[in-house]
Amino acid sequence: RDSRVHVFRLTDFEGDTGNSLVRTRSDLREHKLERTKGCHLYALSRPGGSHLRMAAAVGRRLLVLQWRHSAAWTTWCAASDTDTVDGFQLVRELLVPEAPALLTLVDSPDNHICVGYRHQFDLVSEKTGDATRLHTVDAAKAHLVAALDIYEDDEAELLLCYNHTTHFQKLNDENTTEFDFQWNAVPDNIVCVFPYIMAFTYESIEIRLIINGNLVHNMVMPKLKLITSKSDIFFVSTAPEFFQVRKERIKEDRMERDSSVSPPSSPHCESTGSTGSNDGAKPLRVYRISFSCLTGNSPCERRVPTPSLPSPQPLLATPSFGSSYLSPDFQEGSRLRPDVRPSRSATASPVPQMPLLLPGCRSVSPKRPGLHKDHTHSASSDSGLGKSVSSSPPPSPHNHA
């Protein structure tokens, strides 16, 4: 009931000598937005718009706020832009049928808000408050994950994610499940970086093609938690040296099976609720995946081609499940390649049967008609994947396979 939105500048956390400052609860008093008392959910607009916008949900009320200065003015007069709480101005207040469970601001000429409820997604106009039903979730126990806004030719489209399903929805077309695909596990977070869409769960990262939903790679990392995906992707996971992988014993020149050899245990067995001595706290490491590693550019515009176009789709090289998958050398050798199959079906072959591209080999992806030039792949040697503690890549828990 007493929750509010508080606004700070990043410089408020910088000390005189460049050290970080720790802010306490008492520091929040002068940085709170009074109108947002009781806020349980909020969302910000994507970079690239003329103004920063925010939608805050207070029960059934939606507060639409906008930053007083334009992005262009802030860029040219950065030294003069020192506002915090006073920078946000209330534009209007909207009323929705029930308390939202999910909010996403959609950039369009009229500006809309995608509102997720318990069993449906609606599109609400910021100007009039009129709501349009986008999609209804039939599951008895629906778990809404995310609503991702993507753009093609300045036309907004949405990826509605709930339970195991990701549903592709155009704002001006009828509802269709033609392009739906399923995840192997219910995601906690979804990140869209064209041409990939990534699902983060408690113990894995699942990477698929946004064009057809085909599985590219599934990477097991215990106690995984996404931190942010605003500029690059940052997440934490258990340090690799604490992965509990039991090595199989191999005995040569012995045909009979050794009953003392047991199958390898799961590297994330401590997360299943067991009460053994392995439940102690394990060190975590922070990892970073650069957007340029995946797309060759920053995905601020988030423009992707419609999946209904029967044009070639780029694919990653078939992933290796060894420890070299996270290494820079492997990432340098993984290039995008064309695939002639336009299928978006989740029943299609998850891993395309195509030859590997070895490091040093040169691959040229054909340009796609109508595709924004910023989305052509850049052959950068930077893998973009790093961690904050050590420079060595984490070994894969599937090395024994």
* Mean pLDDT of all residues in 356-360: 43
- φ, ψ of residue 78 to 5 degrees: the values are -60, -35
- Predicted local confidence at residue 395, as pLDDT: 53
Which residues lie below 8 Å from residue 161, measured CB to CB, with a gap of 6+? 144, 145, 146, 147, 148, 167, 187, 190
The one-letter code for the residue type at 4 is R
With cut-offs at 50, 70 and 90, classify the pLDDT of residue 239: confident
User: What percent of the chain clears pLDDT 70, i.e. is strictly above it?
Assistant: 62
Euclidean distance between CA atoms 292 and 49, whole angstroms? 21
- Assess if residue 297 is contained within a domain: yes
- φ, ψ of residue 242 to 5 degrees: the values are -105, 10
* Mean pLDDT of all residues in 70-78: 73
Structural contact between residues 92 and 108, judged by C-beta atoms closer than 8 angstroms:
no
Name which of 191, 202, 199 is nearest 224 in CA terms.
Answer: 202
- Assess if residue 392 is contained within a domain: yes
| DSSP calls for 264-283 | PPPTTGGGGT--SGGGS---
- Assess if residue 241 is contained within a domain: yes
Domain encompassing residue 299: 183-246+281-310+378-401
Euclidean distance between CA atoms 42 and 292, whole angstroms? 28
Euclidean distance between CA atoms 141 and 124, whole angstroms? 24
Structural contact between residues 341 and 239, judged by C-beta atoms closer than 8 angstroms:
no
- Assess if residue 207 is contained within a domain: yes
- Predicted local confidence at residue 177, as pLDDT: 64
| DSSP calls for 291-337 | HHHHTSS--SS-B---TTS---EEEPPPPP-SGGGGSHHHHHH---E
Euclidean distance between CA atoms 76 and 399, whole angstroms? 52
Rg of the chain (C-alpha set): 23
Euclidean distance between CA atoms 273 and 266, whole angstroms? 13
- Assess if residue 189 is contained within a domain: yes
Q: What is the pLDDT of residues 96-140, one digit of tens each?
A: 999 999 999 998 778 899 999 989 999 999 988 899 999 998 877
DSSP 11: G
Give the residue ranges of DSSP H helices in 70-189: 71-76
* Mean pLDDT of all residues in 187-209: 93
Domain count, the chain: 1
- Assess if residue 144 is contained within a domain: no
Is the pLDDT score of 278 beyond 50? no
* Mean pLDDT of all residues in 187-203: 93
Euclidean distance between CA atoms 126 and 113, whole angstroms? 7
Is beta strand 385-387 parallel, antiparallel or unpaired with respect to 284-289?
Answer: antiparallel
Q: CA 352, 354, 358, 364: dihedral to nearest 10 degrees?
A: -90
* Mean pLDDT of all residues in 184-211: 93
Is the pLDDT score of 218 beyond 90? yes
Which residues lie below 8 Å from residue 93, measured CB to CB, with a gap of 6+? 61, 62, 63, 64
With cut-offs at 50, 70 and 90, classify the pLDDT of residue 146: very high
- Assess if residue 270 is contained within a domain: no
* Mean pLDDT of all residues in 166-193: 85
Mean pLDDT of the chain: 71
Name which of 396, 390, 398, 206 is nearest 286 in CA terms.
Answer: 390
Query: What does pTM read for this prediction?
Result: 0.62
- Assess if residue 111 is contained within a domain: no
